[in-house]
Structure 1
């Protein structure tokens, strides 16, 4: 089948969401009781609240290029999942050389992905309470595992270290939302593509966003991930208040390869960076997250059912 190309954009020619949670200790499970914003989140999440999901699953957030909002989507999706679902949710920074997920949440511990990987090697199996000590705690009940903050200790995780981290997290969490990077050739990216239950592509607007999306789609299709791509959700994030160039054509292109395509509107609070405060996020953006949340949970449920 001939390779599809993205539609021409401005300045570009046509050539050119009842679930069954993993076992947890009673002390750990008590934290899943009432938390701020849950009822409102359940109402907005709609079907994502009620869909039955068995086991534990990895959701890989894959930006098609740097700076398109991958970490932002990871923080948003993790927060909404944690508010809407009763199962535990953790967001994990898996950028090879350290990402900015920790910037999006208040910093309450110096623990990191690397320190958790080292603890697994030193202690063997960790209890739920021991694992929790490595996570940043948030008002939404989302756990956050960040990269090391000190530059002198920041180095790429090995695939073996990443496997240890994800395995111990999946013992006590139903959803792992992984903040990935756009480097498709990196071993960590390829390893998570192989273990992910669901994929969310993050796409930028404009000519550069369309080109990067086409390159990512082509790579996934030609390297054995076409089936994962066909179940994925593409999320186009507006990074400015301008409307962007030819978004309907970009959406049509993405729809031809992905299960769904969604558009997140510009949000001034997110655009300024720093700590994510859900109370300051616009109503339009929270509404736009609802179908994305439902798509992710439904996609995982369907994939799980097909493998039973």
Structure 2
């Protein structure tokens, strides 16, 4: 087993004074998970004190991926006091019905003329063969088998950088290419937009709810009954039902991440912005991490300061980090090559997510509408960060 897996467990346990104990029981039988919409297409903690290694549960590839309806708790034997059954939350829509009509028809990520010109170039040149070869190589990386579930944390220095967009794009990419289930967790519960970006219609169970329910003996079918099902064998665990000021405590995050890891080949975590406590722990405990920043001078300067802090942690932390510069306007006022060179000097990797009209408009991401350059950038990023998560520490 990779050393990083034990290190991750030690960090979470030491920060919280031990793993959280099971506190709840299964909910009522009326909790049927809603199905999301939108089909994807290809396209500050220091070093923790040492403590005895805690055995990890091996990743268990699923045999049946259909969700099971959460079961009611078995009636205790006569005279025995059973645990109280947790409250079953009411299902709430991600977007109120009277607001749905306010959304305009989604735009394609690039203009029609650009798409037509690219099609002509592919017809009259040999670039199509090179592109197919590159896509095949990337797919092979994304489909690598894992011995334990890989956890990838996505965070940023400030809001509006595109953190949630990157998390949603990564999650749908892994779900499209991989055969094992993918989990996307929202660890940014205060009015987070991850469910909307992923096309979920309604929400019920949240990260805090599941932390009080999940038990070691539960099967994948039991667990997925509390999740929002998305296309291509992906599952979403929202951080809240959209309440203002919703919080996620560290103990709940720890239990959910440790308990669910064995069910999913890849877990993508949409974290709070730094320096929130859960975000710091998520960055330290994940096998790989992404820092998202706008392609601006302010964004690069702030991210460089964070990378300098990460260099003070064990070497594999900075080596397993990729910075994503997001172009939020068509022509960024930044020399991307010079900015990338400055950031890579710290030991981190750098990727650029180009401007995309579809992403800039907000709302549910429809991957078939993404610009060609965006799809290439996202799949390359997904492969590179997955490779980093696989490296032995």
Per the TM alignment, residue 29 of structure 1 is displaced from its structure 2 partner at its CA by 7.4
Task: Name 1:141's counterpart in structure 2.
Answer: 233
Match among 188, 194, 209 for residue 299 of structure 2: 209
Per the TM alignment, residue 188 of structure 1 is displaced from its structure 2 partner at its CA by 0.9
Task: Name 1:254's counterpart in structure 2.
Answer: 343
Per the TM alignment, residue 116 of structure 1 is displaced from its structure 2 partner at its CA by 1.0
Q: Which has the higher helix share?
A: 1
How many Å separate the matches in 1 of 2:216 and 2:320? 35
Task: Name 1:292's counterpart in structure 2.
Answer: 381
Match among 177, 187, 208 for residue 94 of structure 1: 187
Per-residue CA shift, 1:20-72, capped at 9, x if unaligned?
x9214532279xxxxxxxx9x97483342353432112101121321110100
5 Å-filtered alignment, 1:99-248, equals 99-105=192-198, 106-120=200-214, 125-151=217-243, 155-184=246-275, 186-222=276-312, 224=313, 226-248=315-337
How many Å separate the matches in 2 of 1:157 and 1:243? 35
Task: Name 2:169's counterpart in structure 1.
Answer: 76
- Say if 1:232 and 1:259, in contact at 8 Å, map to a contact too: yes
Cα separation, partners in 2 of 1:258 and 1:234, compared to 1, 3 Å: farther
Match among 134, 140, 156 for residue 63 of structure 1: 156
How many Å separate the matches in 2 of 1:44 and 1:72? 25
**What is the aligned length?**
271
- Say if 1:204 and 1:236, in contact at 8 Å, map to a contact too: yes
- Say if 2:183 and 2:268, in contact at 8 Å, map to a contact too: yes
Per-residue CA shift, 1:160-205, capped at 9, x if unaligned?
1111111222121011101012222x32122212310001111211
Task: Name 1:22's counterpart in structure 2.
Answer: 59
How many Å separate the matches in 1 of 2:164 and 2:60? 28
How many Å separate the matches in 2 of 1:83 and 1:42? 13
- Say if 2:175 and 2:181, in contact at 8 Å, map to a contact too: yes
Query: What CA RMSD, in Å, does the superposition of the two structures yield over aligned residues?
Result: 2.6
Query: Any idea what SS the aligned residue of 1:228 has?
Result: helix
Further displaced range: 125-134 or 264-273: 125-134
Cα separation, partners in 2 of 1:195 and 1:23, compared to 1, 3 Å: same
Further displaced range: 250-259 or 196-205: 250-259
Query: Any idea what SS the aligned residue of 1:151 has?
Result: coil
- Say if 2:287 and 2:320, in contact at 8 Å, map to a contact too: no
Per the TM alignment, residue 294 of structure 1 is displaced from its structure 2 partner at its CA by 1.6
Query: Any idea what SS the aligned residue of 1:81 has?
Result: helix
- What TM-score does the superposition give when structure 2 sets the normalisation length? 0.63
Cα separation, partners in 2 of 1:42 and 1:169, compared to 1, 3 Å: farther
Gaps of 5+ in 2: 1-57, 68-131
5 Å-filtered alignment, 1:33-44, equals 43=136
- What TM-score does the superposition give when structure 1 sets the normalisation length? 0.80
Which structure has the larger Rg over C-alpha atoms? 2
Per the TM alignment, residue 98 of structure 1 is displaced from its structure 2 partner at its CA by 4.9
Per the TM alignment, residue 225 of structure 1 is displaced from its structure 2 partner at its CA by 5.2
Query: Any idea what SS the aligned residue of 1:61 has?
Result: strand
How many Å separate the matches in 2 of 1:84 and 1:27? 18
Task: Name 1:301's counterpart in structure 2.
Answer: 390
Per the TM alignment, residue 79 of structure 1 is displaced from its structure 2 partner at its CA by 0.6
